[in-house]
Amino acid sequence: MIPTHYFLILSAILFTIGVVGVLTRKNGITIFMSIELMVNAVNLTFLAYARQFHQVHGLIFVFFIMAIAAAEAAVGLAIFITLFHHRDTIDVDEANLMHW
Amino acid sequence: MEFAIFFFFAAVAVIFALVVVLHRNPVVGALSLVASFFALAVMYVLLEAPFLAALQVIVYAGAIMVLFLFVIMLLNLQHVAEPVTRPVQQFLGYTSGAAFGLGLLYYIVKYAVFAKLPAGPFVTDARTIGIKLFEAYVFPFEMVSILLLAAIVGALLLSGRQYQKREAAP
């Protein structure tokens, strides 16, 4: 049996990598992939706690998170396709229409 | 043996996650993310949730990442060089990310001290999850189906109209 905090530490490391990716990259698709990485880190935390407390609720939360991540990916990628057709780039610094 | 599997796949997940963040080619990033998700599916099996591991492989590595790869290839991004991030942004990003990660690790090590795992098997097969899903979680389940429908309509509306405009313009 692997202790729960091993999984929590792995999840924290993956989440931090995702945060660094969102903060330092300019490519919109890469930023999006970093967000997916953070979502997966949170899923791992949910499952670790579900096993720690023997609760099925954590698994069902992960199920819902996966469904919502699919919806988010579909809409977000559609937005990036639209942005690419307007600006010919997916550099997020170029998406400054609402910039002051 | 279990620990060996855990540490090997944890290393795989972290290394491929680093490749996603550091590599400049988005195709390489997407494929590394698929590898990282497979390693996480192994973690789910270790956490006694094989049903969720199957969902992770089918939904995440199968469906969502294929969507990412299709968009990258549709936009022909594998040849577009990403402009270099400003040094200020890089410095702030790395330092604040590292500070955030260290804070997270500090609080996990300090406070996440658990009692032993409860005795007895943790039943997480598809039958148990299904019964729970359709008894206690029927309303959120229906809400998620409506949300997915809204996402389909939104994605079609956002990405479909541009082609018509382009063809009509010249």
pLDDT tens readout for residues A53-70: 888 898 999 999 999 999
pLDDT at A100: 57
Say if the Cβ atoms of B75 and A90 lie within 8 Å: yes
pTM: 0.89
Q: For residue B64, give the chain A residue with the closest CA.
A: A70
Cross-chain Cβ contact B104/A59 below 8 Å: no
- A94–B contact, CB cutoff 8 A: no
Nearest CA in chain A to B14: A14
- Gap between the Cα atoms of A57 and A2, Å rounded: 21
Domain covering B2-77+119-158 assigned CATH 1.20.120.1200 in the classification: yes
ipTM above 0.95, yes or no: no
In the numeric block, which tokens belong to residue B144?
């998620």
Q: Which residues contact B107 (CB under 8 A, 6 or more apart)?
A: none
Q: Where are the domains of chain B?
A: 2-77+119-158
What local confidence, expressed as pLDDT, does residue A10 receive? Answer: 93
Query: Chain B within 8 Å of A75 (Cβ-Cβ)?
Result: yes
The answer to whether the beta carbons of residues A31 and A92 sit under 8 Å apart is yes
Residues B4 and A5 sit within 8 Å (Cβ to Cβ): no
B53 confidence band (pLDDT: 50, 70, 90): very high
Best residue of A44, A84, A91, A93 to probe chain B, by most B CBs closer than 10 Å:
A84
Distance CA B78, CA B27 (A): 6
Q: Is the pLDDT of residue A46 over 60?
A: yes
Domains and CATH numbers, chain A: 4-87 (1.10.287.3510)
